[in-house]
Chains A and B, each alone.
Chain A
């Protein structure tokens, strides 16, 4: 019996350290396929974007960006993101808090609903807003009477962007909040902290990396969204065009260089997002590991 037990222990201890034993050929084929995919679908397009953008030289590149319509598109994109991201920040924290710290009827439904924008095609999301707020939509007549324009105007773009980007923050912070539990909040309360003090001094520091990660993903989506925004925007140049829409218009006019110049700005944003994501992911993993460590009962 004793022999069996120790042999068993040894087996399980060495198992994770054992190397994969597939032949070199299989290994290199798999690695090769993965790398080829990466090159074909990520690296080549990225290089293409920048080489096309600078095809007519640096001056033409700047000219394309300084075009009033391009500037207006950049401004609108920043404006929309500046509203959508904070809104989703508030929504995400509230939803994350409710789901992670409380048990209530409808909790599972809420978790499912948060993922809805992932499941629905962005074009459908846009159409929903047209059906709600368009001239013939549910609220259309009322809005028309009060001279409020939502669809084919900036408010519609903001609404559609909020909709498609809202899962990101909630999704990121729910696991972090669940991992940190409620004991620290209770400790703060017994020590005399108010609700706000508890949030800013205890909850927020514990979730900050997850939150930042969510914000970055949310921002990337908010600035890059095409489908939903395209449906509600109305494509009015210089007024309701965001950067992705502006790229499409330029492209359809065969103005490839200008289209790629604007696209390169979006691509740059993606690269910055990726780097930030990588950095934050590391911090996040570390803070989650710290959760486990402090939560585990441990002896002196």
Chain B
């Protein structure tokens, strides 16, 4: 096991940042810690790195207890959100830093340092910038220098705090792909923190979703996206339509909608909420039952999918995404009244709400 976190809790003053969190990362795995701000994900990352001490719980790195090991001896590479490059050192010296501060016995010779740093700079495609200072680099370049610097000490695990947070959309896309390829090449146990669900789902082998200091769900991107364990996860992983109602005898009655809900069959009647993603709704011109009528208030036909916004008679806003084919078949127009049906809905009981 690359990283194992067991029952870690952390409080800052009155604020409970982490509440009995346990999870593990297999060797060579790339895991995303995903959550809104204040969910404790960065604190968790800092505890793994040893930059923060947990109030309770243990951290194991490469199967040995690292809970009380100093950050400098943990053998982790850490990439800070704002890179934290040493501004008075050149790019080359930034990357060489971790090698130069080693105790005399373990410090490589100058020739070895030169070779190694050049190799790392080549890996991050910045060898030609070795003599520049951090302030002369673009954000994406700084990010890669920070990564090379972290890799220079040959860490057992790599931790990245919002690695693409401070970059603009296009650079972010490129770096994301590049990091994924790099990870496939070097297979270093890695954890990155992000609040961007798209980034987490696209990049990670496994996603750990956090909320209010707790882990809501962990699993592969498909798993958490297709089978969200809680209403929070459903809500957080993309836009969603929410229908309030109740479950009774294995059926959910969500306003005018009625669907089967077999997983709640044995339970007494109680309030529940249905969640459906925009692409899980269908539009038609005929009342086929179990659906509701709504008027199109906004229609956006630019892009790979057509985004339709409707308002039903009770003023409820409904978002629908149609594939291009379904759109050309139906050809809805703004202001038209259409029949909305659910292809799929997930029902969570009221007390499961975030």
Contacts and interface: CB of A to CB of B under 8 A. Distances in A.
A300 B138 contact: yes
B86 A202 contact: yes
B141 interface: yes
Interface in A255-300: 290-291, 293-295, 297-300
B330 interface: no
Contact of A297 (B71, B74, B98, B166): B166
Contacts of B243: none
Nearest to A205: B88
Nearest to A190: B78
28 contacts: A183-B80, A183-B84, A184-B87, A187-B80, A189-B70, A189-B71, A190-B51, A190-B74, A191-B101, A191-B150, A191-B153, A192-B72, A192-B98, A192-B102, A192-B153, A201-B97, A202-B86, A205-B88, A206-B87, A294-B134, A294-B135, A294-B142, A297-B165, A298-B166, A299-B138, A299-B139, A299-B168, A299-B171
Closest 7 CB pairs of A and B: A297-B166, A299-B168, A300-B138, A183-B84, A191-B98, A300-B140, A193-B101
Contact of A293 (B135, B153, B166): B135
A12 interface: no
B101 to A, nearest CB: 4
Nearest to B75: A192
A295 B138 CA distance: 12
Contacts of A184: 84-87
Contacts of A299: 138-140, 167-168, 171
With most chain B CB atoms within 10 A of its CB, the pick from A189, A192, A205, A290 is A192
Nearest to B172: A299
B76 A190 contact: yes
A191 B70 CA distance: 11
A122 to B, nearest CB: 38
A194 B102 CA distance: 9
Nearest to A192: B72
B139 A187 contact: no
A191 B149 contact: yes
A87 interface: no
A55 B140 CA distance: 67
B139 A298 contact: yes
A183 B140 CA distance: 18
A188 B101 contact: yes
Contacts of A295: 82
A128 B14 CA distance: 43
A219 B85 CA distance: 33
A300 B164 CA distance: 12
Contacts of B142: 294
A94 interface: no
Interface in B98-132: 98, 101-102
B25 interface: no
A197 interface: yes
Nearest to A191: B98
A67 interface: no
Interface in A4-55: none
Contact of B97 (A191, A291, A297, A300): A191
Given A206-B87, A298-B139, A299-B171, 7 more contacts: A187-B78, A187-B85, A190-B150, A294-B135, A297-B165, A299-B140, A300-B138
Contacts of A205: 86, 88
A297 B71 CA distance: 26
A66 interface: no
A193 B97 contact: yes
B278 interface: no
B88 A190 contact: no
